Structure 1
Amino acid sequence: MKKIGIIPNFTKDKDMNLTKKIISWIEDHGGKVLLNEVEAKKVHRQDLAYKSYKMYKESDFIIVLGGDGTLLGVARKVAWYETPILGVNLGRLGFLTEVELGDLYIALEKIFAGEYTIEKRMMLEAVVINNNVQVETFYGLNDVVISKGAFLRMIRLKTYIDDHYLDSYSADGIIISSPTGSTAYSLSAGGPIVNPKNSLLIITPISPHTLHARSVIISDKEKVCIELENEDNEGMLTIDGQQGYRLKKEDKVVVSKADFCANFIKLNNITFYDVLRKKLSEMIINKE
């Protein structure tokens, strides 16, 4: 019996009718649904209620209803357990969602029949260190950004690859991106586009105050260490544009490949390059 977690979208499924229909379909086809306690209460199915971590761990796969932003948040929580994720798009075309809502039940039939593959996506680990003590650890799918936060002035970022000095960037900030995140903030800052099947890190300064500063691509076996050199040593650490942490005096941030990956269910023959071409075309049209 398939055990399937569902993460609804309260914004786009306010009455929860869509979630209820998916639950009914899964149960009619011999599957078991897992919801977290809040969502189970909203659909009046407390018999499906689980602690979130238990749902992530025990599900054979998890259906995520929403767009790329929703998937990013879920990936950070689920990747620990390496549980596969099926992204169902409820909005505009994204890079992470696998199926459109109208194709969901066809997709579920294929999954139940074993007609799918798993695509692994590299995750990032960001460790905040102060006086040689590890004080915080974050994980992200897209990127780790160190910026000036609310301050208008630029910051200076002393950057190392492992123990090797790379450069000190006077800039608005710096982006450490995974291949998945290469089409997000990194691209807007002038970084390269990388197929997410690769495993590497991309370092891209944000609005650098020098002409020679360019993106640098490094091995997934290397670590990036960043120290703030501005006078007050303050800045903002942001993970996937969703989690924020105020950096304090003498903090440094070490970014590397995480020990686990996010797993996404793949069902169709649409390639990354197909999505990229369509997405970039949309961007051009919107600008016009």
Structure 2
Amino acid sequence: MSSVISHGFKSSKEDFSFGPWTVTAAKTHIMKSKDIERLADEMHMPSLPEMLFGDNVLRIQHNNGFGIEFNAIDALKCVNNMQDSVKVACAQEWQESRSDSEHSKEVVKHYDWTYTTDYTGTLLGEQIQMKVTPTTERIDVEKLKAREQIKFFEDVLLFEDELHDHGVSMISVKIRVMPTSLFTLLRFFLRVDGVMIRINDTRLYHEAGQDYMLREFSTRESKISDLQHVPPALYTDPNEIAQHLPLKFTKCEKLTFPEREKQRETESSQ
């Protein structure tokens, strides 16, 4: 593990080996404003999150090169920047305060200022990648509840924005590696004060010895007006409020390792 002090921030990069896998967690300072402005132009978005950790990454990579990683830039690419997803009384005032004068009102109007993203990770591998297919198989939650020693844990923040003091929009990824498995939770959390709460979760699970990972994506959402039975103190805690939000959408996928695909091709050609 190496740590350097840069611009008053402590940067760290940790590598952890799990069988043929290397888990890398890199954390460093917020992107500089000039880099954020350039990126916003490239992505055709009027503005980007206040705290954008463009160099933060959580990577799970096999010795053969394939794998998956979670990073802020790819998460932002999944934001629908042509859609104003949440209309609130403060939205116009908020957008005007965030938009630069050279941006036309038309661009600002079609802008998802909540940064809602359905990002589920970025597949790695130049020549070979994992194959993604729908599956009915589910992550075994009971296995995850078992008291197994945690060999490695990391929590990496990708971006956060306080929505001009009208709530919060943030995405972070956590990983824990046990002796026989690894589990990752990528969570996008949105709270627009007085309006709504949304959580997009991506869970990734791999058991040692298996030739695949399971990935489950879910969206939970509720209007604040439908959460009258929940203490407002819980609104700011994603872990607590998640169980009170109705499930709106779910998608389950199997990420199969490439060697198996090659083996199948060889067998079918014989």
Band the TM-score falls in, shorter-chain normalisation: under 0.3
Taking structure 1 as the reference length, what is the TM-score of the superposition?
A: 0.24
TM-score normalised by length of structure 2: 0.25
Higher RCO (CA < 8 A, seq sep 6+): 1
